[in-house]
Structure 1
């Protein structure tokens, strides 16, 4: 009995010590928890979601006559990644496509769920002498469909061949500014700025940029793209550099 009582007293002492230890454990853990809570914001955040930018266009986007990795969308994505931006650029260009063809493809490209669509269409309309009013209606319908789907729209402008006469040139060239103002979308005035009619930057047909010409297009348009990526990110309350 005395032995039993002895063990009983010993157990009571051990239990008391264990109880004290458990009571002190939260206090001991507090500095580590406080340190975790005091970490620099963003250290444990997941990487920002990649932004998807689709280029709905014609042969200028598709990369007619050059390798796929030399196309405008591919080179633009490479330039954005080099700038530290997480952006995927989708090549939705079809050689020979007109504004009407682009309109027919809108539902198809929406299947990829792009965040932003750069509309690069109209060059083939002008080359075929299509009524500028028809081109404007098609581009307007494209913008409306994209906006209705919740997609951000950018517009890349084009210019008519100058041998079509001043009336046609004025009517066609004004399409893009009118649409940009009407729908409040960013406009890059002329995709081929600095490249058009330069033999050193175009293929033998004089219409399609060679790899050097694509490099000039990307260099020229990059400030427009990065500025509007920042505006897009700000509109979603994301960091300025997605």
Structure 2
């Protein structure tokens, strides 16, 4: 509208001479307005909800920075997570997740359910995650809910989780039954050589933060943004 008024203000016989000047001025104004609009947008709020793979993950800061650059708007990633906990604990933390009023919820809650000594049966784990998804969807109907499979386990940490794949499949099935999203980060880890994977996950369960960022962030970035963000 401003550009049109400027154009009309220029005498007809001088418009050709002023055409490029006005065009450049209008492009600058449009560019500046776009940047201002992006800065004024509220942040995209993400809650990462899970176990030590989130609490000790270290990938959240990378996701926050990369997604903000991709979307050209602020992004804030917070965590509701605790090492060693199961889906039963997660059921008691839903008020904390809801209080954040997130736009996106990232969930990984199978890892400790799958340990032999936790005594969380596959059926109970599946029921728990179903209840979690139902409550979150009911209380946050506009939020995107994304379940995740994280990294592989090895050594003793793998031995105490002999059926972890079944737990992942059960949680994935509950998400799919509700039309919710699922991101599988395991293929990214499987593309590493055995030596590189061992170096990236030295204790057999918890990736180094820089390795987790390198593998997990690109997968989440493309899934959330729905486009190539240069990763």
TM-score, length basis structure 2? 0.68
1:52 to 26, 30, 45: 45
Partners in 1 of 2:187 and 2:59 — Cα distance? 11
Matched, 1:172 2:167: yes
Matched, 1:146 2:144: no
Partners in 2 of 1:164 and 1:81 — Cα distance? 36
Deviation larger for 74-83 or 101-110: 74-83
Matched, 1:73 2:50: no
Deviation larger for 137-146 or 169-178: 169-178
Deviation sequence 1:88-145 (CA, Å, 0-9, x none): 1112221112111111101122111111111111101112352111111111111111
Deviation sequence 1:123-181 (CA, Å, 0-9, x none): 0111235211111111111111111112321111357857766xx45642321331122
CA pair 152-132 structure 1, distance change in 2 beyond 3 A: same
SS in 2 for 1:43: helix
CA pair 182-110 structure 1, distance change in 2 beyond 3 A: same
Partners in 2 of 1:81 and 1:164 — Cα distance? 36
Instruction: Tell me the equivalent position of 1:223.
Output: 222
CA pair 183-162 structure 1, distance change in 2 beyond 3 A: farther
Instruction: Tell me the equivalent position of 1:82.
Output: 69
Cα RMSD for the two superposed structures: 3.3
Any stretches of 5+ residues in structure 1 without a counterpart?
1-29, 65-70, 231-242
Q: How many residues align?
A: 188
CA radius of gyration, larger in: 1
Matched, 1:106 2:104: no
Partners in 2 of 1:148 and 1:130 — Cα distance? 25
CA pair 170-218 structure 1, distance change in 2 beyond 3 A: closer
1:224 is displaced (CA, Å) by 1.8
CA pair 129-188 structure 1, distance change in 2 beyond 3 A: farther
